[in-house]
Amino acid sequence: MIRFSMSFRLGLVIAATSMAVAALILFSLVIFSKKINQDLVQAGQQQIEHAVSAQLIRDARVLAATLSDNLTKPLYNFDFSAMKQVIEELANSGELDYVYIYDLNYRVVHDGSAELVSFGALLSSQDKVKLVPNGQSQAKHIAQIVHVTEPIESKGVVFGGISFGLKFSKAEQDILRYQQDIKKYNDAISEQYRLFFILLAVFVLLLIVPIAYFSSRSLTRPLSHLVRNSHEIIKHGGNIVFSHHRDDEVGQLADALNEMTARLNTSHQQMTRIAYQDELTNLSNRRHFNLELIKLREWASNEQCCFALLLIDLDKFKQVNDTAGHDVGDLLLQLMAKRLSQQANDFSMQHTGLEQHCLVARLGGDEFVVALPYVGCDSVVTDFAQQLNQSMQQPMNLKGSNIKASLSIGISLYPLHGKDITELLKDADLAMYEAKKAGGGAVQQFNFSMREEYRLNYVIRNELQSALENNQLYIDYQPFYSVDQSHFIGAEALIRWQHPEYGLIMPEQFVELLEGSELIHQLTLWVVQKVLQDSDTLAQLGINHLLSINISSSCVADNRVCQDIAKLLKDNQNELQTIGLELTETGMMSDFEQCRRAMSLWKEQGAQIWIDDFGTGYSSLSYLHELAIDVLKVDRSFIASLKPDVANPVVMSIFALAKALGIEVIAEGIEQEQQAQAVVALGADILQGFMLAKPMSLKDFIQKMELSDHVQI
């Protein structure tokens, strides 16, 4: 029997123990390294996902802010065509999942569909919407969609918002691909670790530990590098390159990450272009212009220079689209953008020598804005605007259509009119509105009285409802004088607004401003009801009377309002009254068939149909016959030029036409005796004007009717 010495056995035990310890240490290192590798893989996945999500949310927020700016006027004016155009530009990215434009009550105004399926529905009832509007900008990445809600505001007042979802499917595909590559790389590393364990088990204890350590470091270093670069994307974004010089799984993973970041940067550039550049003209859009304008103000302040804001609107651009087509309209906008840029740059170089400080942008539709730095008197800016207008008035041949455009230009000046950018833009807008009111093709520089007029318009739009409720509105009556009967036979109802701050507001200041809105419908129905109540008062006094009421053209176009007027006429009839409903020619011809239906409905209830301001619109013989008109009111502009012994062929033709058709004629605006004599000679049936009687209260009108027998003129 072989016997081993104690020293040998002791050495064997020591050797076995050393090998066991070495094996245990090696196994622990392998498990530990594998755990580190898995943690790094998981961290890499999370960092990339966070990086992509953060970038997508940043892009979505910028895009949402731009959409909010572009939707301010369309939502304020309920311009569905303009809303649809903004939504279509958003949908061109191909990533739009849903979009809802909503009002202050969170009811859907536009959902991007041609049929407006969700119009009027609560935003909270839409399943796709995941964010609850709170008056603040919100964006959240949920599942595969970035959900965004953005308020739409004007001058700090929120009156609606937009909620939409972007899929960003390409970015999601890149994340999935990256996760698959990470898993593949992790599996490859695990296989290497198993082989590594088998090989290193045979090495000497002193070699195992350093080899395991340095091998682990070598295997994990590339992945650590990728994780660090991923973290840089989260912090800074931009072009991070995952550099490598390997052909193994690490190299493949780096290639995948480089491709993903390239796509992400491309998406970022596209979103930036949509957010800051107008697609049609390649000019800056509203958001980018506002950002650059802040820089221009800082430059002007530091250099003690001035700059002008020119707000520019193409006159009658809708007619170009309707007659020549939208493609010609687009060409006109592109040509205008080119001319604006060239002439503005030339001006800036001439007056400052610094072309880069000149800003040109398209705010939307046919509205442009130019910021011009200048040194010297402000008349050079007005001269520039007039030259710009003249250049656009030169005939242009666009796709075979001869187009002659004109511009309405409003100007505000820094620092003359203020230093606040928002106020300066508003001032330029007010000046442009004044140029529009002048008939277009005009240049108007801002003056401070315009702000008071704007404030009055704001008051009118926002306080009319309370004025109706608080009895601030009342009716005056301007009498009608019958030539045949030689006395007053009735009056025209004229609305008045006694405002607690602004005093008496005349109808020409607020009726036209409200045209096309729901408020004009409420106002018209209020006037009809009030006049019919006053008619009942006259009837109770036994007074035969003729009362006329002006009807808004938008009320004629709304069948619901027409029915309401008819019901009021039916419910408030009396034998002593005659009610004339006054319509303008322009309002009648906007929808001829609807106008015919409305007139027929009203005439069934005993009302007469009058044409107000006749001669200033279509003046068509056919519609006078087809619509069975009862009375023509000849516009005061014709009456003002009449003299007893001087023939006026136009006015004579109007009277002759009316007599031939059996239509009564009212001559309004009689202010001089010679005018009255002239229209009586032409055959006027009824006269109205300040010479005969000014507008008066119902009480004074009743007194005049009771004392009006055989009044001579």
Distance from C-alpha of 213 to C-alpha of 206, rounded to nearest angstrom: 12
pLDDT band at 310 (very low <50, low <70, confident <90, very high): very high
Q: Between 475 and 463, name the one with better pLDDT.
A: 475
Tell me the C-alpha to C-alpha distance, in Å, between residue 508 and each of 181, 469, 580, 712.
72, 21, 20, 31
pLDDT digits (tens, 9 = 90+) for 127-174: 889 888 988 899 998 878 889 999 998 777 888 999 999 887 676 676
Q: What is the mean pLDDT of the chain?
A: 80
pLDDT digits (tens, 9 = 90+) for 526-539: 999 999 999 999 99
Is the per-residue pLDDT at 84 higher than 50?
yes
Q: Between 591 and 141, name the one with better pLDDT.
A: 141
Tell me the C-alpha to C-alpha distance, in Å, between residue 564 and each of 464, 532, 548, 601, 602.
20, 13, 17, 11, 10
**What average pLDDT does this structure show over 623-635?**
82
How many Cβ atoms are within 10 Å of 171's Cβ, its own excluded? Answer: 23
Is the per-residue pLDDT at 6 higher than 50?
no
Report yes or no on whether pTM surpasses 0.85.
Answer: no
Is the per-residue pLDDT at 190 higher than 70?
no
**What average pLDDT does this structure show over 105-122?**
87
pLDDT digits (tens, 9 = 90+) for 660-701: 888 999 999 999 988 898 889 888 999 999 999 999 999 999
Is the per-residue pLDDT at 619 higher than 60?
no
Distance from C-alpha of 458 to C-alpha of 463, rounded to nearest angstrom: 8
At 12 the pLDDT is 53
At 5 the pLDDT is 44
Preceding amide of 415 cis, omega within 30: yes
Q: What residues does 496 pair with on adjacent strands? A: 474
Lowest mean pLDDT among 14-18, 168-172, 223-227: 14-18
At 651 the pLDDT is 84
pLDDT digits (tens, 9 = 90+) for 654-669: 888 888 888 999 999 9
At 227 the pLDDT is 61
User: DSSP alpha helices (H): ranges in 119-204?
Assistant: 169-200
**What average pLDDT does this structure show over 608-614?**
87
Dihedral angle sign, alpha carbons of residues 129, 131, 136, 138: negative
Dihedral angle sign, alpha carbons of residues 553, 554, 556, 557: positive
Lowest mean pLDDT among 30-44, 508-522, 557-571: 30-44
At 211 the pLDDT is 56
Distance from C-alpha of 710 to C-alpha of 219, rounded to nearest angstrom: 115
Lowest mean pLDDT among 76-90, 99-113, 402-416, 599-613: 76-90
